[in-house]
Amino acid sequence: MEFVTEHQRPLSSVRPGFARADWNERYAGKELLWSAEPNKLFAVEVAELEQGRALDLACGEGRNAVWLAEQGWLVTGVDFSEVALAKASELATRRGAEVHWVQADVVGYEPEPGGFDLVAVLYLQLPHGELDIALRAAAAAVAPGGALVVLGHDSTNLTDGYGGPKDPAVLFTPEDVVASLEGLVVERAEKVRRTVSLADGEAVAIDAFVRARRPDST
């Protein structure tokens, strides 16, 4: 019999070092593991969207979810690390933002179908089979007229870029993402380059970026 995690995922599907306990340990420090500010590209891409309900899958310490709430969105942030969500809640409180936090594994989490005007999936680096499951659920959650934004470390970052996971099994391309977005119209699907500041200079990281929309039913 296959043992499963507390989120009903087979233990064999969890990469060594990336179980919930491992992420809790990473997030356990007092300081934020990531910046408190939103991802720059994400902020630009959604800045002109009409505010409504937003879902941030694998929200981590909540920087993007909190920022969305500050812009007037009604936000749900989902992550499987209770330590990350505690820090996210603290960040929201400090900034006077209201976010609904949900502790759940995005693989197997079923958001309300068609329930969100914006769904964000940022830097969710999973084996392709699991990523496909999460992305299909994310796509299904997009309301008519709503948008999905996916951003993560591109496969070419392993050889041509800086940073990110070194495991090719969890890197992906825009084309990989598009294949999982049934029912959505892809508006952008491309590799994007960003500058990373280092102690001794700068480097360039390569990300996969996809923005898609569900056609309005009217």
- Residue 32 is predicted with a pLDDT of 56
- Residue 58 is predicted with a pLDDT of 93
Structure tokens at 42: 């994400």
- Residue 12 is predicted with a pLDDT of 44
Domain extent listing, the chain? 11-213
The model's pTM is 0.86
Structure tokens at 137: 């659920």
- CA-CA distance, 63 to 46, in Å (whole number)? 15
What dihedral angle (degrees, nearest 10) is formed by the CA atoms of 57, 210, 117, 95? 50
Going from the C-alpha of 59 to that of each of 16, 54, 67, 101, 186, the distances in angstroms are 21, 12, 12, 9, 23
Q: CATH says 11-213 is which class?
A: alpha beta
With a cut of 50, which residues of the chain have pLDDT below it? Answer: 1-14
Alpha helices in 55-120 (DSSP H): 63-70, 82-95
Label the pairing between strands 74-79 and 53-57: parallel
- Residue 18 is predicted with a pLDDT of 56
Count of helix runs (H) and strand runs (E) in the chain:
7, 7
- Residue 23 is predicted with a pLDDT of 53
Collapse the DSSP code of 14 into the 3-class scheme (helix H, G, I; strand E, B; otherwise coil) and give the result.
coil
Closest to 167 measured CA to CA, from 152, 189, 177? 152
- Residue 30 is predicted with a pLDDT of 62
- CA-CA distance, 217 to 176, in Å (whole number)? 27
Residue 84 has φ and ψ, to the nearest 5°, of -60, -40
What dihedral angle (degrees, nearest 10) is formed by the CA atoms of 178, 13, 77, 31? -120
Q: What is the pLDDT of residues 122-136, one digit of tens each?
A: 999 999 999 999 999
Q: What angle do CA 93, 27, 107 make, to 5 degrees?
A: 95
